[in-house]
Structure 1
Amino acid sequence: MTFDPYNRHAHKFFNQYQSVTCERVHSDWLHLLQNKSGLALDVGAGSGRDALALAERGWDVVAVEPAVELRRLGEKITAHTSVQWLDDSLPHLNDTRKLSHRFDLVLVSAVWMHLPPSSRERAFRILTELLAPSGLLVITLRHGPGDGKRVFYEVTKAELDRYARQRAVVPVTLEHTSHTDELKREEVTWETAVYRLPDDGTGALPTLRHIIVNDNKASTYKLGLLRTLVRIADSAPGMVLSRSDDWVELPLGALGLFWIMLYHPLVLKHQLRQSPGARGLSFAGEDFYKLGQVSPLDFRVGLRLSADLAPVVMRAIKLASSNILKNPAHFTTWPGTHRQIFEGALSRMVVRHEAVRLDKETLAQFGTFRVPSMLWDTFSRYACWIEPAIVNEWINLMSGWEARYSIETYHKALQWSEGRRDTTLVRKLVEHQLSVGSVECVWTARDLSRNRYDIDHCFPWSRWNNNDLWNLLPATQSANAAKSEKLPADFLLKQARPRVMNWWENAIMGTEREQQFFAEAEVALPMLGENHKVEAVFEGMLQQRLRLKTNLRLVEWLGM
């Protein structure tokens, strides 16, 4: 697909699209939405007309538009609504898929005729994979001659229906499927095709249930691997190195690190058996036992480890990573087969006696680990349901091997080491800024007093345990109390943007905390990658806000 005409004539196309309303253009299918709302994907969002209309109906919208000049115009008219823009395109939608969203509505309006026939089957498959259960896929088809400036291909609804049968999505019958062109072009007509996904379409949940409940287990290692992956998908989605249609690739060292943090309290604090009998643990070497002198929070992602602690942690990660590949990854297979579900490879790396920052780049030095994309998306979306199931089965295994402990002890040992709700460091940063100038409340723009201010977890700690520097923001006590454990609404977070970024620039950028800030953000926020700019971190926050709202159904705070 070529986007040059849409960039060169952005204002012309913008005015053209805005000259007709969403309700007129999409009158044949809009009634299917009734009064419902949810998460929508507008592919080829153009001027933002349809994205804006959906947002005004109460929908959260991800608007995909590859033409940068047209996208900028669309961003302006949707700036104060719950619309997040992405530079992405069919047939691949690579960045969209990185978000691991499932959409209640996918709209592909006036786009399909630009796709060459060779790309359409793959594009249709990807669009259906992005649907949530009962989600609607709406595609409008343009019939008629081209304009000599853009590339058009012939399209048919019969072709779409054939793809739909292959993807097990159900056609939705409309009273009217064809209509004339709203721009009064006599030679142009339009046709609408609507499809619904009847279920989750993946088979991922039954597969996970089989592994968790039914699969043979000589130790807790299979459960440990699943919980490690769920934890990374939920709290560190930025760990993804690459993604294809079939696989998500992670740094093998990330699995080793999370594995150690998971088993640290079980083995070193509570001395609980992780397999029957008294045999040792293959991942627990001398370095793992040395870590009993420190807390798991002392070697979490983003921190810089001293030259004394770093080699111990790195060697422990290396042994854990090797064990993951040899044991749980090797023996976790698709139900009824001997085919491994997960794949991975160790890299040759030398552990040196020097300080190390536990960031994504460092953890990738240990090797790579591949997870089927459908399972990764399920881990990401359903972590709050999958993890309790894993913990429950883990307790059943341990109590069968060693019944002398109470259920409460097992639960306590399996608590993830998120630490306490700690704002001490950021309070020190506020105190320093107040000593040399002023600090604004990010929510109200009021100047903070040295004696009366709070540090707010932008995304509530009680629902998403995160003490990263980017998530801790200065606020008045009244604003923090009013917000409480709610998620800031999209428009509110966007309004706070200049104050949030000003806080980061003044308090963190150019200090010893800058590397930690970006290392934490790169791991916790989707799609940030190595774009170490405060603007990119804020965009990542907007995407993460939408992810938390969609996956956890959090109550939103609308401001003071």
Structure 2
Amino acid sequence: MTVASYNHNAQHFFDQYQSLTFEQVHSDWFPLLEKQNGLVLDVGAGSGRDALALAERGWDVLAVEPALELRRLGEELTAHSSVQWLADSLPDLSEVRKLSYRFDLILVSAVWMHLAPSSRERAFRILTEQLAPAGMLVITLRHGPGDSDRQFFEVSRAELDSFARQRAVMPVPALQAPRADELKRQDVWWETAVYKLPDDGTGALPTLRHVIVNDNKASTYKLGLLRTLVRIADGAPGLVLNRTDDWVEVPLGAVGLFWIMLYHPLVLRHQLRQSPGKLGYGFAKDDFFKLQKFAPLDFRVGMSLSAEVAPIVLRAIRDACANILKNPAHFTTWPGSNRPIFEGGSQRIAIKSESVRLDKATLARFGTFRVPVMLWDAFSRYACWVEPAIVNEWIGLMSSWEVRYSMDVYHQGLQWVEGRRDTSTVRHMVDLQLQTGNVECIWTAKSLKGRRFEVDHCFPWSRWNNNDLWNLMPATHTANAAKSEKLPADSLLRQARPRVLSWWERAILGTEREAQFFSEAEAALPLFGQERTAEGVFEGMLQQRLRLKANLQLSEWLGV
């Protein structure tokens, strides 16, 4: 009923919110922000007034608004600023949680009174779980009578403080006395509650440290499983099948596939022992060894396999899945207990001599694998820290079993298979397009005909290894050199939208590469889902840009 009212009267509420400034409404808490910029979640963003004001102050904003018409007006207002919009709502914030962001500021302004009392504790818990260390949660509370079209509930600062004690977040002392309503509504008054998260707050990092450093290991399998999951969470978040308050569910086949890609160079190329002694490996059966003549990139997510190759790869994945469930998933337990951290279930899969694409649907046919939410979010947010710790411990184990190799060999064996920059396929596409017409630089709109050109990784290769077709863009040599290893600014990427879409439509869509393009995007881009359109891929890119900026703290490029 409440959302319907905001939709039906969207222009009225938009005008009402815009009649007040950000400073009028939020001057009491804004000086508390220690950081001058960061990532903001604006829950119930309404007209976009607050989101725009924060973006103009240098913040990146994810604006959440469930009312379609009000959200449309907000999108128009903030179209040229660093504000991403999302249809979502409390208490679940299910779409927001799929992104695995951590926010430096979460603003819940004029929303809490719409939440039923039975939903508030859950909503507060979910909000605090999205905070970055030292992040601040601001909730404004409206007191007084409501109106006939919207549902209002009584709210109190004391209730929020009790939730904060349960979640181990710190309340900031009262800022000032309750304040009068800026719209001069009779008997309506407001107060602000502010809370801070003192640290990570989830227990995920100590658990990971225990498994990586302290846990008993008869082989590298536990480390292999952790690194496999880190790789999926960081590089293929779109593969998630389902997310609840407690678990993230991914295709078991994806876990098996990434496992094979990790162990392929270690076992088949470098012959490095993965356990003491001379026994074989449970996952390395005949089909795994038949992959000797292939490179791991030949069977990465999104690739199409011929009827000759597909059965070999699928059987190797099946063997890997069975071994993962039997060994590392079963024996990786919570500290001080015998209770497994991970859960998984396999399904019987018919493997035929026919071509197959390694997409999300195919990988889900093997079954499902469940990861605790707090660990999944840690894998996603801290991949650049967690993965080196896993690799370091892995090298220590291998060197204790086989001392005859140098550290360089161990590092080479553990290099992720996409550890080489490859733009050859897209460079060939550009050459073909230039033979029959013109191609514009994505960043400058200059013609590439008759001049030296480059294929640019939109999201820099050095910080996020991704050779997907959607991430490779034609560019002038000058623009590519100027951009270097920086992340394109939100405004720049939006300006490039028509050129990006035009490039995809000319060079990829409608060709034999189209299915690969969408399968890669489905795996790598958050919230892309089943919307197989160029516009959908671009919207996923905007979300991924924000994710990389937040997780990796990348410098931004504003263009030449």
TM-score normalised by L of structure 1: 0.99
> Partners of 1:286 and 1:406 in 2: how far apart?
29
1:523 corresponding residue in structure 2: 523
1:369 corresponding residue in structure 2: 369
> Partners of 1:496 and 1:190 in 2: how far apart?
43
2:267 corresponding residue in structure 1: 267
Shift of 1:379: 0.3
Shift of 1:186: 2.3
Q: Tell me, what secondary structure is at the counterpart of 2:2?
A: coil
1:62 corresponding residue in structure 2: 62
Shift of 1:34: 4.8
1:349 corresponding residue in structure 2: 349
> Partners of 1:409 and 1:507 in 2: how far apart?
40
The amino acid across from 1:416 in the alignment is W
Shift of 1:450: 4.2
| Percent of aligned pairs with the same amino acid | 73
- The answer to whether the Cα contact below 8 Å between 1:64 and 1:86 also exists between their aligned partners in 2 is yes
Q: Tell me, what secondary structure is at the counterpart of 1:475?
A: strand
> Partners of 1:174 and 1:23 in 2: how far apart?
18
Shift of 1:174: 3.1
The amino acid across from 1:273 in the alignment is R
Shift of 1:436: 2.7
Q: How does 1:471-510 map to 2 (within 5 A)?
A: 471-510=471-510
Shift of 1:292: 0.6
Structure 1, 163-172 or 433-442: larger mean CA deviation: 433-442
Shift of 1:79: 1.3
- The answer to whether the Cα contact below 8 Å between 2:2 and 2:149 also exists between their aligned partners in 1 is no
- The answer to whether the Cα contact below 8 Å between 2:143 and 2:155 also exists between their aligned partners in 1 is yes
Q: Tell me, what secondary structure is at the counterpart of 1:173?
A: coil
1:107 corresponding residue in structure 2: 107
1:219 corresponding residue in structure 2: 219
Q: Tell me, what secondary structure is at the counterpart of 2:249?
A: strand
Q: Tell me, what secondary structure is at the counterpart of 2:288?
A: helix
Q: Tell me, what secondary structure is at the counterpart of 1:63?
A: strand
- The answer to whether the Cα contact below 8 Å between 1:177 and 1:192 also exists between their aligned partners in 2 is no
1:179 corresponding residue in structure 2: 179
Q: Are positions 1:334 and 2:328 aligned together?
A: no
- The answer to whether the Cα contact below 8 Å between 2:112 and 2:155 also exists between their aligned partners in 1 is yes
The amino acid across from 1:290 in the alignment is K
> Partners of 1:277 and 1:425 in 2: how far apart?
43
1:244 corresponding residue in structure 2: 244
- The answer to whether the Cα contact below 8 Å between 1:333 and 1:340 also exists between their aligned partners in 2 is yes
Deviations 1:39-86 (A, max 9, x none): 110000000000111111111110000111111111111111111110
- The answer to whether the Cα contact below 8 Å between 1:297 and 1:419 also exists between their aligned partners in 2 is no
1:553 corresponding residue in structure 2: 553
The amino acid across from 2:127 in the alignment is L
Deviations 1:338-390 (A, max 9, x none): 11100000001111111110111100000000000000000001111111111
> Partners of 1:173 and 1:455 in 2: how far apart?
53
Give every structure 1 segment of 4 or more consecutive aligned residues whose post-TM-superposition deviation is greater than 3 Å.
none
> Partners of 2:174 and 2:30 in 1: how far apart?
10
Unmatched segments (≥5 aa) in structure 1: none
Q: Tell me, what secondary structure is at the counterpart of 1:3?
A: helix
Shift of 1:452: 2.3
1:16 corresponding residue in structure 2: 16
> Partners of 1:251 and 1:508 in 2: how far apart?
27
> Partners of 1:175 and 1:72 in 2: how far apart?
34
Q: Tell me, what secondary structure is at the counterpart of 2:290?
A: helix
Shift of 1:437: 2.4
TM-score normalised by L of structure 2: 0.99
Q: Are positions 1:325 and 2:307 aligned together?
A: no
Deviations 1:196-237 (A, max 9, x none): 111111011010000011101110000000000011111111
Shift of 1:425: 1.4
The amino acid across from 1:23 in the alignment is E
1:147 corresponding residue in structure 2: 147
- The answer to whether the Cα contact below 8 Å between 2:264 and 2:296 also exists between their aligned partners in 1 is yes
- The answer to whether the Cα contact below 8 Å between 2:254 and 2:363 also exists between their aligned partners in 1 is yes
The amino acid across from 1:224 in the alignment is G
1:39 corresponding residue in structure 2: 39
Q: Tell me, what secondary structure is at the counterpart of 1:289?
A: helix
> Partners of 1:282 and 1:318 in 2: how far apart?
12
- The answer to whether the Cα contact below 8 Å between 2:222 and 2:332 also exists between their aligned partners in 1 is yes
- The answer to whether the Cα contact below 8 Å between 2:448 and 2:476 also exists between their aligned partners in 1 is yes
> Partners of 2:127 and 2:177 in 1: how far apart?
20
Shift of 1:451: 4.0
> Partners of 1:437 and 1:413 in 2: how far apart?
44
Q: Tell me, what secondary structure is at the counterpart of 2:365?
A: helix
> Partners of 1:264 and 1:84 in 2: how far apart?
39
The amino acid across from 2:202 in the alignment is T
Shift of 1:177: 4.4
Deviations 1:12-62 (A, max 9, x none): 111110110111101110110156211110000000000111111111110
> Partners of 1:408 and 1:424 in 2: how far apart?
27
Q: How does 1:451-466 map to 2 (within 5 A)?
A: 451-466=451-466
1:94 corresponding residue in structure 2: 94
Unmatched segments (≥5 aa) in structure 2: none
Q: Are positions 1:138 and 2:151 aligned together?
A: no
Structure 1, 35-44 or 17-26: larger mean CA deviation: 35-44
Shift of 1:509: 1.0
Shift of 1:419: 4.9
Shift of 1:138: 0.5
The amino acid across from 2:234 in the alignment is D
The amino acid across from 2:355 in the alignment is A
Structure 1, 315-324 or 183-192: larger mean CA deviation: 183-192
- The answer to whether the Cα contact below 8 Å between 1:28 and 1:174 also exists between their aligned partners in 2 is no
> Partners of 2:475 and 2:273 in 1: how far apart?
46
Shift of 1:454: 1.6
> Partners of 1:173 and 1:204 in 2: how far apart?
29
> Partners of 1:346 and 1:437 in 2: how far apart?
50
- The answer to whether the Cα contact below 8 Å between 1:253 and 1:363 also exists between their aligned partners in 2 is yes
The amino acid across from 1:59 in the alignment is W
1:384 corresponding residue in structure 2: 384
